[in-house]
Structure 1
Amino acid sequence: MEQSDIYNALFEDPDFPADSHSLFSDLHSSTPVSKFSDDITWMRPQEVSQQPRLFSENLQENHVKQGILGDCWFLCACAALQCNDRLLKQVIPSGQATWGEKEYNGCFLFRFWQFGRWVEVVVDDRLPCIDAKLCFSRCQCQDVFWVALLEKAYAKLNGTYERLWAGQVCEALVDLCGGVAKRWKLKASEKEECETDASGSTLEKFNLSDIVDNCMMSCCVHSSHRGSLGEYHAFVVMEHVSVIKMCGDSLVLLRIRNPWGRRCWDGPWKEDGDGWEQLDPEIALPLRSRVEEGEFWVDEIEFGKEFDEVTVAYPFSIEGHMKSLWTGANLSFSQQVYSSWIKDRTAGGSRNTNSFSCNPKFWLKIQEVGEVNEVNRLSLSVSKGALILFNFKGEEEETHLPRTLQEAPCLSTLCHAYEREVSVHCVLSPGYYLVIPSIFLQGAEGRFLMRAFSTGQLSLSPATKGYPANAKNDAEWETISFDGQWLKGNSAGGSRNFSTHFANPILPFKVNSDTGKTTLNIVLQQHCQTGKCHAIGFHIYQVAHNTDLNKCLKDQEPIKSCTPHRYTEEISIMCVLPPGNYVIIPSTYEPDCVGFFTVSIATRIDRKPVRSQETLGRFLQEVHYSHA
């Protein structure tokens, strides 16, 4: 078989074709890479290299190197994979047939963590090239292709290569590792103070040496006055060393890798800088020889001055448990729940609004003392809003919601932030905590995933919604629910047309109000299979305290009714009642209709908004710098 016939038999991905549709999001691309569009051709690794390999046994040859695509943020996360063999095999499954093997068919499989689960992405190995060389990311050795193929799979996941132009290191770290990443500002104005760690910690409270030694760390520059480092560019912190200068003072040096793959530092610790004269040659020579292509040394003081922020990925244990940045302890227990903000239902906004309590609510139960890290994964784009986490400690699960929400939270993010994911770190004593995630703007919609990691046992579950389905999202609501059933010959008395009506379940409730009448939303839901519903309805009676219900109810008319009975799963009414004692009698139209039901009573709580001055963090600066 001729070579051309062999290539024709290889897999060609129909969902991510080798043309401009996979390169650009639209025909009028404005990113700098668009100027190369006419020069780009697609070639398989065996057409680019005589000895293509997925990985090299020489670790240095596997290091990432950036091309003309501005995705240094993604490449910094790729560097993290090289530090954890278990994660690397999770993202790039081993055993795949490669070039020269009989089973090779031009197809490769990758996995990315997306919204709470690992998803598989399959691509062919046709890669963008200019002049028969890879033009986007590649490895230090041009015969090694794991980075280029992983980049293609990530581009397919995001839609096009162009969508990898500019991004956040923390987001790529989560997508590749499935864990948690934290960002810290090294310098911030007063208006940006809310962007420090949500639990009030700053990077200075950590031992920088421990962070670099135990987990992946990236650093970024945003401003352009440091020309040699570029603008909006991300780097990888490879290691730190503590040394003693000849004068006797201690010094900390950090080795930085530039994804460009070339040295760009002009400080005292550059290759021939005068900083090395401060060290004994026996100390300096091994450090200088350790620098590979694209790497340079800076001291700790320079590091704080030259870089604007750092991003740190939580490390993983050998067993696969995420570990605490603060203590190194294994966060062996984890839970996650999905939910959403829905306009006029659960999109209550921040505590600046009186509809805050309408947001989704969750009970976090801590069963033993331990370290907890709460993480909220957001599927919203940056332009749609942000996320905040509130924890309220309750003495028991049945806490009084309106009273609790009047109190200050025991823990929260410091402000809403334009980030895909925010997190808080804390140490909580055993008990129940109410967790309320929110978007800053009332009515803004979106789905989210909330995750909790802990050193001790915990549970995370949705709380009672406390918000009527057919009410407008302009107030707080407190909900109570009653579960019951209609039993043949016992409690299935039928409608008021039958003498057995008062055999139906009688559910008492009380309206308390210091301001007069109260608005309620009352819902009757029968639990039935679709198309097999009974006709249902209910009546509301006002009763005196400590009265004989069976006797008094037969002598009076209901003050509110939800009738006629209807063949539906759920019926409801909105009504206004004065303070007093009441009962609800839910019924089917005909007697002896068997079924289960739930009655929910949502009481509107009118109050002024909490005195809160929540603010929005500034927009994130995405890193994207590339070199031609």
Structure 2
Amino acid sequence: MHAGCVSEALLDFTGGIHVYFKLKQTSTDLWSLMDRAAKAKALMGCSTSRGDTSANTVLPNGIVQGHAYTVTGVFKVTSQGEPVKLVRVLNPWGKGEWSGAWSDKSLLWNNVSESDQSNCRSSAIDGEFWMSMEDFTENFRDIDICCLSPDFLNSSSKYSWTSTCYYGSWDAGTTAGGRPCNKETFWTNPQFRIRIEVLDEECARGQCPENILVSLMQKHENRYRSLVSNYSIGFSVFAIPPEMKDEKFPAKFFYNKRHVEASEKFTKARHVMNLFKLEPGEYLIVPSTLNPNECAKFMLSIFLKSGSLKRN
């Protein structure tokens, strides 16, 4: 509650699914996605970079470095005949606000309709403020979105997602094989086989290309989670040739085979995820720790827009 990882807090409080985006490193139309997430009553958090100085340094524009904020709304206004996409952000301190364009005292509010001003503008000193999507992307590092369903990821309400959740463990000497470069042991990690039957219309047209979300979380049983160390974890996704019917894929399958997708990197965090597109076919998802014989329990959640799942 005092400090920690936003995504872990959101997951623990809701039991929902979590997606994460680096604001400057994604081609996703984030404002539209955030708008859908807000309509779905999702929880959204964002954070700023630590900077070169100590954490919690307040910049001249009012933004705090190395600080977590909450996204409380998104709205589109018309200013001088042009649409402007806005994001509302809350500083949890209850004070300290952005002082740039579209802030509480910004003269830009004089260029919008009275109804838009009534819906958005506030002069209260409460830590909550509006800013343009461009300024939001420039001043914040990333955004975490947590919701009970990933349906907000769709650009229309025509499609829904199905989910399957698996509980497993990495056990020394048997199922804790480490990352893919451990050629002799990687294959011993738990393996999960999935099938993508067909692409939905959005994926086929490239409107919402991602059709699978994979979430991997270490499952700590100690109620005092701050006392439990996390291993560096990740997952790899491999394409399965149609002729292969193996129940458990052996070491030789992985020797010269490169993954088609993976978690961003092996991260010393309780939770990692990735959202991506897979063409129709069969795939193998292998969650692992960074090093062999690192023992932990995990939960692997797989969300698909289409297709069926089966586990090896």
**TM-score computed with the length of structure 1 as normaliser:** 0.40
1:303 Cα deviation from its structure 2 partner: 0.9
Change in 2 beyond 3 A, CA 1:219/1:457:
same
Kept in 1: contact 2:15–2:148 (CA 8 A)? no
Kept in 1: contact 2:195–2:307 (CA 8 A)? yes
Whether 1:297 and 2:130 are equivalent positions in the alignment is: yes
Among 19, 24, 34, the residue aligned to 1:182: 19
User: Which residue of structure 2 aligns with residue 165 of structure 1?
Assistant: 2
1:350 Cα deviation from its structure 2 partner: 1.4
Kept in 2: contact 1:339–1:360 (CA 8 A)? no
Among 213, 219, 239, the residue aligned to 2:36: 213
User: Which residue of structure 2 aligns with residue 22 of structure 1?
Assistant: none
Amino acid aligned to 2:216: N
- What per-residue deviation string (whole Å, max 9, x for no partner) do you get for residues 170-213 of structure 1? 112211222221222235xxxxxxxx6xxxxx2x4224133233
Identity among equivalent pairs (%): 22
Kept in 1: contact 2:178–2:288 (CA 8 A)? yes
Kept in 1: contact 2:166–2:299 (CA 8 A)? yes
Amino acid aligned to 1:186: L
Amino acid aligned to 1:261: G
What secondary structure is seen at the aligned counterpart in 2 of 1:338? strand
Amino acid aligned to 1:233: H
Kept in 1: contact 2:23–2:142 (CA 8 A)? yes
Change in 2 beyond 3 A, CA 1:432/1:314:
same
Change in 2 beyond 3 A, CA 1:258/1:447:
same
Among 383, 388, 397, the residue aligned to 2:245: 397
Change in 2 beyond 3 A, CA 1:359/1:424:
farther
Kept in 2: contact 1:361–1:434 (CA 8 A)? no
Instruction: Spell out the pairing of 1:196-595 with structure 2 (5 A cutoff).
Output: 202=26, 204-214=27-37, 215-223=42-50, 224=57, 226=59, 228-246=62-80, 248-262=81-95, 264-279=97-112, 283-289=116-122, 293-314=126-147, 316=149, 322-323=150-151, 325-327=153-155, 329-332=159-162, 334-366=163-195, 368-369=197-198, 371-379=211-219, 381=228, 383-395=230-242, 396-398=244-246, 401-405=250-254, 406-429=256-279, 431-461=281-311, 463=312
1:436 Cα deviation from its structure 2 partner: 1.1
- What per-residue deviation string (whole Å, max 9, x for no partner) do you get for residues 502-555 of structure 1? xxxxxxxxxxxxxxxxxxxxxxxxxxxxxxxxxxxxxxxxxxxxxxxxxxxxxx
Question: Per chain length, whose mean CA-contact separation is higher, i.e. which structure has more relative contact order (CA < 8 Å, sep 6+)?
Answer: 2
Supply the distance in 1 between the matched residues of 2:310 and 2:4 (Cα, whole angstroms): 31
Kept in 1: contact 2:218–2:230 (CA 8 A)? no
User: Gaps spanning 5+ residues in structure 2: where?
Assistant: 51-56, 200-210, 221-227
What secondary structure is seen at the aligned counterpart in 2 of 1:330? coil
| Structure 1 residue ranges (4+ consecutive) displaced by more than 6 angstroms after TM superposition | none
Kept in 1: contact 2:264–2:274 (CA 8 A)? no
Supply the distance in 2 between the matched residues of 1:337 and 1:445 (Cα, whole angstroms): 17
Kept in 1: contact 2:236–2:259 (CA 8 A)? no
Supply the distance in 2 between the matched residues of 1:249 and 1:367 (Cα, whole angstroms): 42
Supply the distance in 1 between the matched residues of 2:303 and 2:113 (Cα, whole angstroms): 46
1:451 Cα deviation from its structure 2 partner: 1.7
Change in 2 beyond 3 A, CA 1:385/1:414:
closer
User: Gaps spanning 5+ residues in structure 1: where?
Assistant: 1-163, 188-195, 197-201, 317-321, 464-628
Kept in 2: contact 1:216–1:315 (CA 8 A)? no
User: Which residue of structure 1 aligns with residue 203 of structure 2?
Assistant: none
1:416 Cα deviation from its structure 2 partner: 1.0
Supply the distance in 2 between the matched residues of 1:383 and 1:303 (Cα, whole angstroms): 31
Kept in 2: contact 1:315–1:325 (CA 8 A)? no
What secondary structure is seen at the aligned counterpart in 1 of 2:34? helix
What secondary structure is seen at the aligned counterpart in 2 of 1:387? strand
- What per-residue deviation string (whole Å, max 9, x for no partner) do you get for residues 230-275 of structure 1? 34322222222222322x4432222222222335232233322333
Supply the distance in 1 between the matched residues of 2:115 and 2:309 (Cα, whole angstroms): 55
Greater C-alpha radius of gyration: 1
- What per-residue deviation string (whole Å, max 9, x for no partner) do you get for residues 378-398 of structure 1? 136554322223333232432
Kept in 1: contact 2:183–2:251 (CA 8 A)? no
1:431 Cα deviation from its structure 2 partner: 4.5
What secondary structure is seen at the aligned counterpart in 2 of 1:170? helix
What secondary structure is seen at the aligned counterpart in 1 of 2:153? coil
User: Which residue of structure 2 aligns with residue 529 of structure 1?
Assistant: none
Supply the distance in 2 between the matched residues of 1:221 and 1:367 (Cα, whole angstroms): 37
Amino acid aligned to 2:269: E
Supply the distance in 1 between the matched residues of 2:215 and 2:115 (Cα, whole angstroms): 46
**TM-score computed with the length of structure 2 as normaliser:** 0.76
Supply the distance in 1 between the matched residues of 2:64 and 2:239 (Cα, whole angstroms): 44
- What per-residue deviation string (whole Å, max 9, x for no partner) do you get for residues 35-59 of structure 1? xxxxxxxxxxxxxxxxxxxxxxxxx
Change in 2 beyond 3 A, CA 1:216/1:310:
same
Change in 2 beyond 3 A, CA 1:174/1:250:
same
Change in 2 beyond 3 A, CA 1:175/1:459:
same
User: Which residue of structure 1 aligns with residue 205 of structure 2?
Assistant: none
Amino acid aligned to 2:306: G
